[in-house]
Amino acid sequence: MSASKSFSVLLLRFIFVLFVFNPVNAQLKVGFYSKTCPRAEAIVKRVIDQVMSVAPSLAGPLLRMHFHDCFVRGCDGSVLLNSSTHQAEKDAPPNQTLRGYQIIDRVKSALEKACPGVVSCADIVAIVARDVTVATKGPHWEVETGRRDGRVSNLTETFNNLIAPIANITTVIARFGAKGLSIKDAAVLLGSHTIGTSHCSSFNSRLYNFTGKGINNDSDPALDSEYVQRLKNKCKPGDQNSLVEMDPGSFRTFDADYYTLVSKRRGLFQSDVALLDNSVSKAYVELQAATKGSTFFKDFGVSMVKMGRVGVLTGTAGEIRKACSKVN
């Protein structure tokens, strides 16, 4: 073997070893903290069970927080960071209605007492999302862990990444696709709207002056007329603050009723009813509505795991924050 060929072989071996064993290329896995903080998930569950027993309305916001974290910069806990100039993700209009930051801090405090400097805030957000789902009678799935925390949080990055309530199907597909998530994933994950509430400001444009012609009775024709009237009784023109159940009658129970509502043109947001404008997502909605969510719980766990892998920092990238609201 020539000297040049021998050198090439050795170089390739070195690159292979560097790639495989470099901690930056570490992957997420179930049980990442089994040796470094074996009770990590039990500690999270204990805190969340306590919270849910007195404040069950926080389930929706805490689940939503994981979505909003992963869709901007990946699942790196950047949505939790504060900014002295109010330029962080949490300061952006789409995130100003997020709630539950104090619960994440409470979980972090409990974990720091047990295992200082070990469990990331990004992983806490992911585990909490699973635990509030279970607490509202939803599915359980194994959460992959090993994420590390990002050091950057930028308000402007929310606008082109998060999915607005007024999004059409083209935007929904594009935003999910940009994160490596399929149309089916979109239909599954939007099913999380089965729990929680929304401010009237997120859908008032569907009730009044929908076409922009200055006619207050001009409502979105894609919205069931009886449902329009019910919503108008709760949300007057210009109402920004009143809250409405996203899944009327069972907004504190994680179930498949969302799909029944969407199939009857009673999805609260335009992004909900948009699922009927694509053959794949429409078929999924109709299947779950007809079978009372026969595969929804299983599908939700699968899609949440996929979303939880988006843009993660692992190995030596990022950091493990001591406090979730600020970098070390």
Structure tokens at 196: 């929680």
Rg (CA), the chain: 22
Per-residue exposure over 9-21, b if at least 16 CB sit within 10 Å of its own CB, e if not: eeeeeeeeeeeee
> Does residue 61 contact residue 243 with C-beta atoms inside 8 Å?
no
> Does residue 327 contact residue 151 with C-beta atoms inside 8 Å?
yes
Query: CA-CA distance, 121 to 78, in Å (whole number)?
Result: 9
Query: CA-CA distance, 270 to 280, in Å (whole number)?
Result: 17
Query: CA-CA distance, 242 to 255, in Å (whole number)?
Result: 24
Query: CA-CA distance, 150 to 318, in Å (whole number)?
Result: 5
Structure tokens at 177: 């696709």
Neighbours of 135 (CB within 10 A): 21
Select from 328, 306, 322 the least CA-distant residue to 71.
306
Mapped onto helix, strand or coil, the DSSP state of residue 323 is strand
In DSSP terms, 202 is beta-bridged to none
> Does residue 145 contact residue 126 with C-beta atoms inside 8 Å?
yes
Torsion of the alpha carbons at 243, 247, 248 and 251, rounded to the nearest 10: -80
User: What is the widest separation between alpha-carbon atoms in the chain?
Assistant: 84
Select from 44, 40, 15 the least CA-distant residue to 30.
40
In terms of DSSP H, where are the helices of 57-100? 59-70
Catalytically annotated residues = 68
